[in-house]
Chain A
Amino acid sequence: MLVAVANHLPPAVRGRMKLWFVEPRPNVFVSGVKDSVADGVVEYLLDHCPPESGLILFQRSNKPPGYKIRGLGDHTRALVEISGLQLVQEKNGLLAK
């Protein structure tokens, strides 16, 4: 299982993504690929998306917590890690003065 959320994607990449993904909402992509195929797709996206696409990728893993998160460029919400658990930061305190 692979879920990708983006700010905006270049049309070429977007079209290419739909080989694996369905797009239920603009810039939200869901796919059932797994294992090494999913790894390959993730690598492909991280290599070919420009930083301004602001991509966050959620990939299923079989170890707790059950997912791996990868981010690319400015994806509006920061990714943090607490005790090795990847979480999404909702507010960045140093900016929100």
Chain B
Amino acid sequence: MAKEAKKRLFIKVTRENLPQVKDKYPFLYLERGRLEIDDSSVKWIDCENNVVRIPAAVINTLLLGPGTSITHEAVKVLAAANCNVCWVGEDSLLFYAAGQSPTSDSRNLRSQMLLAADKKKSLEVARRMFAMRFPQEDLAGKSLKEMMGMEGHRVRALYKDLAEKYKVGWKGRSYKPGKMEMSDVTNQVLTSANAALYGILTSSVYSLGYSPHIGFIHSGSPLPFIYDLADLYKKDLCIDLAFALTLEMGGRYNKHTVSEAFRSRVVAIDLLDRIAKDIQHVLYGD
């Protein structure tokens, strides 16, 4: 062996060679299989022993469903590639884990904190969020409580309108954790679409360097900022979808139909691109 300097085979993943959030594929949902590392890339082995490599650096989130296992090394590589992992259950109770690479800075988190800590500015952010959803309303001078009351009223009316539009019976929103199959089909679709949306939002919020825990409208819940943002997109992505699918599925819940339809809507509105712009808009009002 000649005494030449050995070239490093291992390519270090840095922020320069990772795509921006908006250019990534929004999410992959995986269930019943194993994620591990082989030759330093992420390998998915499903329950029939088929092997597929996952190009983790170009995917925003992996949603891991029931029956998945993931190795320690895989989490390490996914974190380095800035690909987030969320665990979602069939009952759609959402747990999440976020890998943050140590290179990311906390500038955005700091500005989010400062906004939330200032009562006046925080109300302004909340107002911009409501204004995005109800552009024809006059929100000037309204308190957070008034705006939230107004919103509840609007959302209930929206449920009713859609129920009439798609001719679906609607007895109101019901969500009981762990009792997914007890509710009607429309509620089931809503619950699972919401969970998937929370997963995507949580991971994008982390990738953009903000915190899911500092909200402007919601508070006290585990992920207030996520629920704030989710409300901006729920109308088209979840609520309209739920009523449209209830009609289409003929009252029988089919999770493949649901995730297929949900994903095509996410891609159609280019959600990841919009999240980045919308966060910028609601926080700083430009």
Contact = CB atoms under 8 A, between A and B. Distances in A.
A64 interface: yes
A90 interface: yes
Contacts of A82: 28-30, 44, 52
A26 interface: no
Interface in A55-97: 63-66, 78, 80, 82-85, 87-94, 96
B16 interface: no
Given A82-B52, A85-B59, A93 B24 contact: no
Given A66-B23, A93-B48, A93-B50, 18 more contacts: A63-B267, A64-B23, A64-B25, A64-B26, A65-B55, A66-B58, A80-B52, A82-B44, A82-B52, A83-B28, A84-B263, A85-B59, A87-B53, A87-B54, A88-B52, A90-B51, A91-B50, A94-B49
Contacts of A92: 50
Interface string B235-270: 000000000000000000000000110011001000
Nearest to A96: B49
Interface residues of B, number: 27
Interface residues of A, number: 19
A90 B51 CA distance: 5
Nearest to B60: A64
B46 interface: yes
A93 B51 contact: yes
A94 B45 CA distance: 12
B27 interface: yes
What are the nearest 7 A-B pairs in CB distance? A93-B49, A91-B51, A93-B50, A64-B25, A83-B28, A65-B25, A93-B48
A89 B28 contact: no
A88 B51 CA distance: 9
Contact of A83 (B29, B46, B48, B49): B29
11 contacts: A64-B26, A64-B267, A78-B50, A82-B30, A83-B259, A83-B263, A87-B52, A88-B52, A89-B50, A91-B49, A93-B51
